[in-house]
Amino acid sequence: MDGTILVTGGTGTLGRLVVDRLLTAGRTVRVLSRHTPPPDPAPAGRGWAVGDLLSGEGVAEAVRGAGTIVHCATSSNGKKDVAATGRLLAAAREAGTRHLVYISIVGCDRVPFSYFKGKQECERLVENSRLPYTILRATQFHDFVRAIFDGTSKLPLMLAPAFSYQTISAAEVADRLAALALGGPSGRVTDMGGPQVREATELARVYLRAQGRSRKVVGLRLPGRTFRAFREGGHLTASHAVGRGTFEDHLAETAKTAAR
C-alpha cells in the first residue's frame, strides 16, 4: 500500500480545500467523485476515481492502495449518509486502509435533527469499523449560513431561526483535517468551533449590510424537541471557539472573489 490519500467529496466546499492542502504538503491525492474528472489539467499529485458511495460502484477500486481516507462526502439525507459511510468502511477494511479521518458535526449527539442523527450514526460505524480512525466535529460553516440567507433574503420579510450559530471558516477546518490526515489515528479529537456565538438574526443583518440591502429581519421560532435543542445551544461549543475568521471576514472574501 502506498502513501496515496483518498478524499471522498473532494469537489465539495470542504473536500476541495482538503485536497489543496494535502497536495501542498507534497502528498499524492485521489479524489472520489460520481463524475468524470474536469477537463482542466490536473495539478501534480492529484488522481481521480469515479465511484458512487450509495450504490458501491467503483468504491473498491477507489480505496485500493490508499493508506489514508478523508471522508468528506455527505448527504442532507441522514439515512443515505449512513449507507454511504457503511459501504466506504467495508471497502476500506477489505483494502487494509491504515487510517480513516471523518468530519462530523458538533452536537450530533445532542440535537435530534435527522441530519445530525445521521452523523452520529456514521460516527458509531467508524468507531466500530475496526479501522484506525480520527473523528473531528466542527460547527456550521460560514458558507452554510450564507447560503440560507441567500434564499431567505429574497422574501419581503427576511426570516432567520430564533437561535444562535457559531459559524467557522471551511478553510480552517480543512487545515485541521489535512493535519489530522498527515498524522496518526487519534480517535475522537477536540471539537472545532467558530470564534463567536451569535444570534442568527444578528448574522442576517450583517449579511444584509454586506449586500447593501434592507429588509426587516424576523426571528422564526418553531415548536418541538429539535428546535428546542438548537435554542439551548446543543450545536455549539463555546469552550472550543478556536476559529479565527468571522462571518464578516467570510462575506468580505466572498465579495472580493465575486468581483474578480
Residue 148 lies in a domain: no
Say if 155 falls within a structural domain. no
Quick one: cell of 85?
459511510
Report pTM.
Answer: 0.95
In a domain, 219, yes or no: no
Number of domains in the chain: 1
Residues of 61-91 as b/e, b for ≥16 C-beta within 10 angstroms? ebbbbbbbbbbbbbbeebeebbbbbbbbbbb
In a domain, 94, yes or no: yes
53 belongs to a structural domain: yes
Is residue 21 situated within a structural domain?
A: yes
CATH of the domain at 87: 3.40.50.720
d(CA 193, CA 140): 8
pLDDT in tens, the chain (260 residues): 468 999 999 999 999 999 999 999 999 999 999 988 888 888 889 999 999 999 999 999 999 999 999 999 999 899 999 999 999 999 999 999 999 999 999 999 999 999 999 999 999 999 999 999 999 999 999 999 999 999 888 888 999 999 999 999 999 999 999 999 999 999 999 999 999 999 999 999 999 999 999 889 999 999 999 999 999 999 999 999 999 999 999 999 998 888 77
Domain that holds residue 54: 4-139+170-188
Residue 156 within any structural domain of the chain: no
